[in-house]
Amino acid sequence: MVELLLLILVGVVMAPTLYVAGLHDVANSIALPVRTRALTPKIAARLAAGFNTLGVLVALPLGIHLYSWFEFPSMEPRLVLTVVLSSLAALLTWNIFTYLKGMPTSTTHALLAALLGGALGAAAVGDLDTSGVLALPWMTPLLTLLVSPLVAFAIAYLLVFGAAKLASGEDPESVNRVGRAVQSVCVGLTSLGTGLQQGQRFSFLLLLALTAAGIEDADSWMPLAYVAFALLIGAGCLTGGWRIGHVLAHRLVAVDPLRGAVAATTAAGLLHLGSLGLSLPLSTSLTAASSIMGAGSNQRFATVNWRQFRRIGAYWAATPVVTGLLTVILTLTISPLLLV
């Protein structure tokens, strides 16, 4: 009975978390196209919502398993459900806070840190060996999340040289028109890659919760769950995420349509490489922001707002710390009530 109640609570908290995830991440794909007037805000948001929804839906039939590396430590089912519930609550809280601040933080970063913090907290409550938690292959996704922004920045910076050379001698209006067209296409591609990543995050958590609650044949619930995920995330995307979009497009760096196209292409390419090629969890926020920074830095005049970049970097660093600690606190608070 307690397990069923916890499972219901997981579903109740997961629904707004999915919506806020769409709200939080949509700006990564549409901020620059709207800024360079490649698309109107309304069309960009609808396009992103449609492809984000599609990305969530196709992840299951494509057999993408971005979190197959993660095996949750063996512990009492109520503890597992408590960790999932606490992780979702911490993720929802942090995503709402950072959205209101206009900060493009990483949902992937936040989720992995929350799971680690929750697992350590549950191990302490359940008097389990924490070495089993720490022995999990955390370094693979951690290195991916640390390295991918640097790779995105470098690729976008270098690609500007090639793009500028191709555009040399061409009519500026024609170059801008092509740049805007490329950005429009990349809205769909980036949103598709984001959907592939987002659906995997939450399906992993739900499957973990269903199994812990003793639901037979938990995998059979996944097709219906993916449809619900897609609708909720897509609804969040329709809002446009303009608080974060304003920071990315207006307060971080000034780019022309050509460099905007380079940034968008870089982000879209890396997201699909991570999802389809390497089967690794990537952060859309970190990848997109770093691509924008890389493309915007390669100009003849100073355009990067380094003060704003340092502020974003501080939030990036705070994300795993805050969500990890918050999940530990929630797990340590809830668990004793369930184990009496």
Q: Report residue 154's pLDDT band, with 50, 70 and 90 as the boundaries.
A: very high
- Cα separation of 289 and 189, whole Å? 16
Residues 6+ apart with CB under 8 A from 93: 326
Long-range (24+ apart) CB contacts under 8 A made by 89-93 are: 89/13, 89/326, 89/327, 89/330, 90/114, 90/117, 90/322, 90/323, 90/326, 90/327, 90/330, 91/17, 91/323, 92/13, 92/16, 92/17, 92/20, 93/326
Identify which of 122, 116, 33 has the alpha carbon closest to the alpha carbon of residue 77. Answer: 122
Q: What is the pLDDT of residues 19-64, one digit of tens each?
A: 999 999 888 888 888 888 888 889 999 999 999 999 899 877 766 6
- Cα separation of 337 and 238, whole Å? 39
Tokens of 295: 């493309």
Total residues found in the chain within this entry: 340
Residues 6+ apart with CB under 8 A from 239: 22, 23, 26, 45
Q: Give the pLDDT of residue 328.
A: 93
Q: What is the pLDDT of residues 258-288, one digit of tens each?
A: 888 898 888 888 877 776 666 667 777 888 8
For residue 53, how many C-alpha atoms fall within 13 Å in the half-sphere facing its CB? 17
Element (H, E) at 197: helix 172-212
Q: Give the pLDDT of residue 330.
A: 93
Q: Contact 275/282 with Cβ under 8 angstroms?
A: yes
Q: Concatenate the DSSP letters of all residues of 15-47 into one string.
A: HHHHHHHHHHHTHHHHHHHHHTTSS-HHHHHHH
Q: What is the pLDDT of residues 95-130, one digit of tens each?
A: 999 999 999 988 888 988 898 888 888 888 776 666
Q: Is the pLDDT of residue 143 over 80?
A: no
Q: Give the pLDDT of residue 90.
A: 95
**How confident is the model over 241-256, as a mean pLDDT?**
82
Q: Report residue 92's pLDDT band, with 50, 70 and 90 as the boundaries.
A: very high
**How confident is the model over 118-146, as a mean pLDDT?**
70
Q: Give the pLDDT of residue 98.
A: 95
User: Angle at Cα 137 formed by Cα 132 and Cα 141, nearest 5°?
Assistant: 140
In which region does residue 94 sit, left (phi positive, over 0), alpha (psi from -120 to 50) or beta (all else)?
alpha
Answering whether pTM is above 0.75, one says yes
Cβ–Cβ contacts within 10 Å for residue 134, how many?
Answer: 13
Q: Give the pLDDT of residue 278.
A: 64
